[in-house]
Amino acid sequence: MAITNQLMTMLMSLIFLLRIASFASSLNLQTGFYSNSCPNAESIVRYVMKKALIREPRSLASVMRFQFHDCLVNGCDASMLLDDTPTMLGEKLALSNINSLRSFEVIDEVKEALENACPGIVSCADIIIMASRDAVALTGGPFWEVRLGRLDSLIANQEDSNNIMPSPRTNASALINLFEKYDLSVKDLVALSGSHSIGKARCFSIMFRLYNQSGTGKPDPAIDPDYRKELNKLCPLDVDQNVTGNLDATPVVFDNQYFKDMVGGRGFLNSDQTLFTFPETREFVKLYSKNQSEFFKAFVEGMLKMGDLQSGKPGEVRKNCRVVNARHSHLLLEKEHM
Ligand code: HEM
């Protein structure tokens, strides 16, 4: 009996390893990936995103941000959506994410609708990609065809997220270096930062630049004086640092206002304004401030490139975006004890 059990465990582990081997190579992402297996996948995502827009316009910005925080940390694999478990610290509590990433419930709603229509078919990693695209298109930005066919990770990595994701203090040259590691160019960096055309940020993210930029005890000189007065009022020294301000002057419309604000010294985050201060990035900021269609074109290119980042690690299609499927968690535990 014991031998049969052992044999069964070995067989299951072998099947598991074979599955890993077949997933470990890079996935071949393609447009229309679900056209046979779940023909309504893209319209279902769009429908839920439209409902989210009506319920709370900001949630579209919050969901679009997921693509950045997912794809930079071990590829676009929805690792960022996993909740903590007793044996794994998730990425939700990583430095750049804690008290900041929000609207996870929108992804849950999309997933539930997709599981009802075609169970076990559409990955959470693909949902992030489709939902981010829709967030942009539904708020006035460009529409583009997305490449799909990603798998969801079996683990999350809080430490990697801590080490990789940039802080709001980061300057343009550090951002250029970071993006370069992912084969994303200076142009991609500036265009993708234009995502801050929608959404909000907390006072927490700008206190240093208002009151003690680079340890000087003074504000960031790049801030326009009138705008600084507005920011001081929004975020006085004793403020609850969870109070939020708009990332640009038109925070629910995806447009090139963000770049116009930058040229006027009205960038909210240091990491935004620095793109105008530094010569390598400045020309792109100027160009996009004058030419919205150039911005849209470059933004789409950047989102596609960022969306292609992959870890090459094993994956699955999760049933619930917050947890790995029971079979995999069971086998992973068994492997640990072997
Ligand atoms: C270039 C480096 C970037 C840095 C340093 C950065 C940093 C930040 C910070 C600090 C916040 C506000 C967090 C808070 O105060 O709670 C924020 C918000 C946001 N970020 Fe970024 N970000 C970057 C790039 C991107 C990219 C590439 C995207 C998407 C493609 C993105 C999308 C967003 C959105 C939409 C929001 C607003 C979210 C909301 O309203 O909930 N960011 N970012």
pLDDT at 27: 85
What is the CA(6)–ligand 1 centre distance, in A?
Answer: 50
pLDDT at 236: 98
What is the CA(167)–ligand 1 centre distance, in A?
Answer: 9
Structure-block tokens of residue 264: 């006027």
Nearest to 61 by CA among 208, 213, 194: 194
The DSSP line for 107-123 is HHHHHHHHHHHSTTTS-
What are the structural domains, with CATH classification, of the chain? 2-165+309-337 (1.10.520.10), 172-306 (1.10.420.10)
What is the CA(48)–ligand 1 centre distance, in A?
Answer: 22
**Binding-site residues for heme b:** 196
Structure-block tokens of residue 20: 């890993």
Strand blocks (E) in the chain: 152-153, 200-202, 244-246, 315-316
Residue nearest to atom 37 of ligand 1 (CA): 199
pLDDT at 202: 98
pLDDT at 26: 75
**Binding-site residues for substrate:** 166
Helix (H, G, I), strand (E, B) or coil at 316: strand
* CA atoms of 13 and 143, how far apart (whole Å): 43
Count of Cβ atoms closer than 10 Å to residue 145 Cβ: 12
Ligand 1 site residues (CB inside 6 A) read: 58, 61-62, 64-65, 67-68, 100, 102, 166, 168, 170, 175, 192-193, 195-196, 198-202, 204-205, 247, 269, 271
**Binding-site residues:** 70, 73, 75, 77, 79, 91, 166, 196, 248, 250, 255
Pocket residue to mutate for ligand 1, from 100, 133, 190, 195, most atoms within 8 A of Cβ: 195
pLDDT at 6: 58
What is the residue-level pLDDT of the chain in tens, covering all 338 positions?
A: 444 555 554 544 444 444 433 344 578 999 999 999 999 999 999 999 999 999 999 999 999 999 999 999 999 999 999 999 999 999 999 999 999 999 999 999 999 999 999 999 999 999 999 999 999 999 999 999 999 999 999 999 999 999 999 999 999 999 999 999 999 999 999 999 999 999 999 999 999 999 999 999 999 999 999 999 999 999 999 999 999 999 999 999 999 999 999 999 999 999 999 999 999 999 999 999 999 999 999 999 999 999 999 999 999 999 999 999 997 555 555 554 44
Q: What is the DSSP letter of 80?
A: G
pLDDT at 154: 97
- Provide CB contacts within 8 A for 9, sequence distance 6+: 334
What are residue 33's phi and psi, to 5 degrees? -55, -35
What is the CA(95)–ligand 1 centre distance, in A?
Answer: 13
Residue nearest to atom 18 of ligand 1 (CA): 201
pTM of structure: 0.91
Atom of ligand 1 nearest to the CA of 62: 41
